């Protein structure tokens, strides 16, 4: 991770196909085309994720927004989300007029089912687990809660493509799943996203809603119907072309990540004070990050600083991170926005600001994650492992 590290002839060929045709838009201009890259990538994505349908959009954030709307989530509905995620999660929820309900995470670094159950109210419409840093939430307890309370499970697999749970691809297990193909994801389109589902109605909604409400019936784009309002969340053919090449290289990327992850994990296991992120039974990571715990938050913060001093780049101490943890989301908690929110959202968000997230804090304050780069050589990984051991031992001494 990320896929751009290994751009090559396959990506160039797909992009040049589009440039040769001169058609950069995913819809229309049928006579001028020699290929349909977005259509091809949707087919490849659905096949890889073992779902009936896939719909490409312009970003992972767009995928989340379109997924929520397509599944019937809207004004005043509550969506349960984790305290540890990227800001796009609550941005998408607010964008559709719904209410983000922050809930504690556990040592999977994903939603705690116990905390989720306590947060369910009569206004809850969906649960949105986020598979952070290449591994997964324990989904079976959440699926049971959705069945019990008639809730939609919107699965955010933006950071975990290629991982699996109970032998099913992440993203395919909920009612609708989302991916990001931005520049720093395991496979990239440069910018882009996608959603997958086995629900035909959800797919039809996503197909229309992401393209101004076009129903895509017939061969005259200007004569197409618009059964309901939509917006412009289209991906371009250029971006889709990059993704066509990248998704066919996913197994190559996953194998490299697993190889380097294992080297680092074996090295870190020699330090008794280190424990590792919990991977649910039946879960297989995509190995894009290695995440581990130090005994205390103070030691974890010092270890993160020491890693940098020892030349270990791309390590993250999420507890103090601007974008991924609730402690730095004042713009959400204070609803600092250029648009005006409804009184319902304002009341709900202001009330939730006072919630106790000490359970999440206890986990994330001890957590360090390190990115696994595809462009490393094995020798570089071995050197990195030695540097990580030296950096952490210097703090524990």
Would you name the residues annotated as active-site residues?
185
80 neighbors 104 (Cβ within 8 angstroms): no
Phi, psi of 369 (to 5 degrees): -120, 140
- Cα–Cα dist 324/29, whole Å: 41
Alpha helices in 290-352 (DSSP H): 297-309, 330-333, 343-352
Phi, psi of 178 (to 5 degrees): -130, 145
Three-state SS for 318? helix
Supply the angle between the helices 37-49 and 9-21 in degrees, to the nearest 10: 140
Three-state SS for 196? strand
Closest CA relative to residue 60, chosen from 94, 37, 91, 25: 91
Q: List Cβ neighbours of 213 (8 Å cut-off, separation of 6 or more).
A: 226, 227, 228, 229, 230
Three-state SS for 90? helix
In eight-state DSSP terms, residue 169 is: E
Q: What percent of the chain is helix, strand and coil (3-state, nearest 5)?
A: 45, 15, 40
- Cα–Cα dist 232/211, whole Å: 5
202 neighbors 294 (Cβ within 8 angstroms): no
Q: CB-side exposure of 56: number of CA atoms within 13 Å?
A: 31
Helices (H) and strands (E) in the chain, counts: 14, 14
- Cα–Cα dist 371/369, whole Å: 7
Question: CA angle, 179 as apex, 209 and 26 as ends, to 5°?
Answer: 50
End-to-end CA distance of the chain: 32
Q: CB-side exposure of 123: number of CA atoms within 13 Å?
A: 15
Tell me, rounded to whole angstroms, the distance of Cα 106 from its chain centroid.
18
């Amino acid at each position: 991770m990320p896929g751009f590290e290994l751009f090559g002839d396959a990506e160039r060929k797909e992009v040049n196909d589009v440039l040769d045709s001169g058609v950069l838009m995913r819809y229309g201009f049928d006579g001028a085309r020699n290929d349909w890259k977005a259509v091809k990538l949707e087919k490849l994505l659905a096949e890889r994720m073992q779902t009936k349908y896939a719909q490409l959009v312009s970003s992972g954030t767009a995928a989340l927004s379109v997924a929520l709307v397509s599944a019937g989530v809207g004004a005043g509905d509550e969506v349960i989300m984790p305290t540890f995620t990227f800001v796009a999660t609550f941005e998408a929820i607010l964008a559709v007029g719904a209410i983000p309900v922050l809930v504690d995470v556990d040592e999977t670094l994903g939603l705690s089912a116990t905390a989720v159950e306590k947060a369910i109210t009569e206004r809850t419409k969906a649960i949105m687990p986020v598979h952070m840093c290449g591994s997964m939430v324990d989904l079976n307890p959440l699926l049971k809660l959705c069945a019990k309370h008639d809730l939609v499970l919107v699965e955010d697999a933006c950071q975990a493509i290629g991982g699996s749970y109970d032998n099913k691809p992440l993203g395919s297990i909920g009612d609708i799943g989302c991916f990001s193909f931005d520049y720093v994801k395991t496979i990239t389109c440069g910018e882009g996203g996608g959603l997958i589902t086995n629900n035909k109605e959800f797919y039809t909604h996503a197909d229309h809603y992401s393209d101004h409400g076009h129903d895509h019936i017939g061969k005259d784009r200007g004569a197409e119907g618009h059964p309901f309002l939509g917006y412009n969340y289209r991906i371009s053919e250029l971006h889709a072309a990059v993704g066509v090449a990248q998704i066919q290289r996913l197994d190559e990327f996953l194998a490299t990540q697993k190889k380097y992850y294992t080297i680092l994990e074996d090295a870190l296991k020699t330090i008794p004070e280190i424990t590792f992120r919990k991977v649910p039974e039946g879960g297989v990571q995509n190995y894009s990050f290695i995440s581990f715990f130090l005994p205390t938050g103070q030691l974890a913060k010092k270890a993160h600083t020491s890693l940098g001093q020892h030349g270990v780049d791309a390590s993250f101490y999420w507890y103090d991170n601007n974008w991924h943890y609730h402690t730095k989301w004042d713009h959400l908690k204070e609803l600092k926005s250029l648009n005006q929110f409804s009184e319902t959202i304002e009341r709900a968000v202001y009330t939730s600001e006072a919630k106790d997230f000490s359970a999440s804090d206890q986990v994330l304050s001890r957590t360090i994650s390190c990115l696994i780069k595809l462009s490393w050589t094995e020798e570089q990984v071995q050197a990195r492992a030695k540097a990580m051991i030296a950096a952490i031992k210097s703090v524990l001494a």
